[in-house]
Each structure stands twice: as structure tokens, then as C-alpha cells.
Amino acid sequence: MENALLTGIGKRLRKGRREKGLTQKEAAEILEISANFYGEVERGNRRLSLEKIKLADEKMRLNPNYLLLGKDECLECPLSRLNRLPEQKRKYFVRMMDILLDLLE
């Protein structure tokens, strides 16, 4: 079971890295690990520490929920959904957000 978990994390890490246009070496530098170790993580043979998962979140914008669980719950998801709305509905939504933000200030 653990190997399946590590393999899944590695696949999602690879997918996120590629979407960002990074090489393994660049991603390894961002996470402050060796390129060899990084490659092992992507292959599911090694695990990232919590500190490295936090770095992936902060510096690569890879959501920990996505990396660990495969759940794509991130800020970009609602934004992409918003962008698919017809322009008039998008304007209403933006106006509602402005009102809410004013209330919070």
C-alpha cells in the first residue's frame, strides 16, 4: 500500500513539475534536494519530508492536498471555473466579491 501511495505522490509531483515547465534538476533545486533524490521521489522510491512538501507548496504552487491525496483543491480551480462563466454572470460574481470584501474590512 505504501508503495502505491509513494507512486501516486511521485506521479502528481511529476505532472505538477511538467505543468510548470521545470526540469527535474530545477525542481530539485527549488526543493533543496539532489536531482538523483528528486528522480527517486518521482518514481515512487523515496518520500518527501513535510518540509519539502511545504516548499513545493510555497515555491512551486503545488497544493499539498493534491500531492498527498490527489485532490485538486486549490485556488486556481475556482478561478478557472469562474473564467468559464458567461461574462454577465462573471460580472455579478465579481461585484458580489467586492461587496463581501468591503464588509470584511
| pLDDT tens digits, one per residue of 29-74 | 999 999 999 999 999 999 999 999 999 988 998 888 889 988 765 5
For the segment 5-10, the average pLDDT, to the nearest whole number, is 94
Q: Which residue has the higher pLDDT, 81 or 95?
A: 95
pLDDT at residue 65, rounded to an integer = 85
Domain 2-72 carries which CATH code? Answer: 1.10.260.40
Evaluate if residue 88 carries a pLDDT over 60. yes
What's the confidence (pLDDT) of residue 73? Answer: 58
Q: Measure the CA–CA gap between 100 and 5, rounded to whole angstroms.
A: 40
Give the Cβ contact number of residue 67 at 10 Å. 21
Residue 11 CB partners (closer than 8 Å, separation 6+): 42, 44
User: What's the pTM value of the predicted model, to 2 decimals?
Assistant: 0.66
Pull the grid cell for residue 43: 518514481
Query: b/e string for 23-46 if b means 16 or more Cβ within 10 A?
Result: ebeebbebbebeeeebbbbbebee
